[in-house]
Amino acid sequence: MTTVYTRENENGDIVEVFGCQQPGMSLTARDDASVEVRKFFRLPAEIISVSSRQFKLQLFAIGLLDRVDAWVAQQPRDVRIAYDYSGVFVKDSPMMMAGFAAMGFNPQQIDDFFAAAAQL
């Protein structure tokens, strides 16, 4: 991530963003991917997790639910337990990344999957 420098109004809302410190200005250093900076630029917040219901409905919607169920059934018990009983699926967890790799997903496809699942 990249550090940016922001100036806020009296309510704490970002009113300006700079790529470097500005002489004579009181600025706050922030990560450019922070919720506040993304909000300033009207960028959607990154989706890092979805509910189990959303995850499995998205698998169903794209025709992968049965394939993923079969793959999970062949995995070690800890993976099967996590898949069956997790309330939330976190995008960058090691188990999740292994599953997406097994299904042939690239990083953009993973992001798109979570974005679509979050809408369900």
Same domain? 57 vs 102:
yes
The mean pLDDT value for 10-26 works out to 93
Nearest-5° angle of CA 11, CA 16, CA 19?
135
How far is the C-alpha of 24 from the C-alpha of 18, rounded, in Å?
13
Residue 1 has pLDDT above 90, yes or no: no
Same domain? 53 vs 29:
no
Same domain? 31 vs 56:
no
Same domain? 36 vs 65:
no
Same domain? 61 vs 100:
yes
User: Is the pTM of the predicted complex or chain greater than 0.85?
Assistant: no
Number of domains in the chain: 2
Same domain? 11 vs 54:
no
pLDDT at position 81 is 97
Residue 26 domain boundaries: 3-40
Ramachandran bin of 113, using left for φ above 0, alpha for ψ from -120 to 50, beta for the remaining angles: alpha
Q: What is the pLDDT of residues 80-97, one digit of tens each?
A: 999 999 999 999 999 999
Q: What is the pLDDT of residues 55-81, one digit of tens each?
A: 999 999 999 999 999 999 999 999 999
pLDDT at position 43 is 73
